[in-house]
Amino acid sequence: MLNSQSAMFPFIYLASQSPRRQELLKQIGVKYEMLAPELGEDAESIEASHPNEKARDYVARVTLAKSEAALKRHIERVLPWAPILCADTTVSLPSHLGGEILGKPFDAVDAERILKLLSGKTHQVLTAVALRISPTSEPVSIVQTSEVTFTKLSEDHIAKYIASGEPFGKAGAYGIQGLGSSLIESIAGSYSGIMGLPLFEISQLFNLAQVTYPLSTTHE
């Protein structure tokens, strides 16, 4: 735990290329600098799931692996220190016999498969966040879970949504902040967590790490 004598930070490093996470940090006034992977880095292999892996275990493991990769990146680039934020989001359908993790669709056929699975059902969206407060300590991490209920989707509805291109690059083959919002009957939990960054939880982590932003409770 940090105390009032700890250094305060006017910004963080964001180790994610997600425009949604960038928008969410801007929403609460957190200044950040990008610490994205290099072109040669194999970021996709980090996100590969293990056989029979539970969604919560998966998203926590992947986020910690991303944090380790981001720390290595920071050291190699000889950057001044600031806390490093990593996150990962996955969609889980616990009742699905083929495996409960529904990741990003490989193609249109896979997007159709995922959307048919979610149609008319309630699924979970899990977002793990890891904030590395110092280069020599383990990151502080949490997993936030929300529930999303889809309306019953027709074949035409699914086809039009896939044709929009929005399902690609998104866990569960949809985005709540875009056209995908029209597929959703209800949510329970954190809207921002479903988008990819639970703002209440990370604000608590920022306060712990002495990150300054408009509503921070850091000690002056």
10: Cβ contacts below 8 Å, ≥ 6 apart:
31, 212
> Strand 12-14 to strand 32-34: parallel, antiparallel, or no bridges (unpaired)?
parallel
Residues 6+ apart with CB under 8 A from 51: none
Q: Is 88 a catalytic residue?
A: yes
Structure tokens at 126: 């899990």
Per-residue CA distances from 10 to 24, 28, 202 (Å): 17, 13, 15
Q: Return the structure tokens found at 212.
A: 């300054």
No. of helices (H) and no. of strands (E), the chain = 7, 7
Residues 219/216/67/144 CA torsion (nearest 10 deg)? 130
- Active-site residue, from 88, 107, 110, 156: 88
**Catalytic positions, written as ranges:** 88
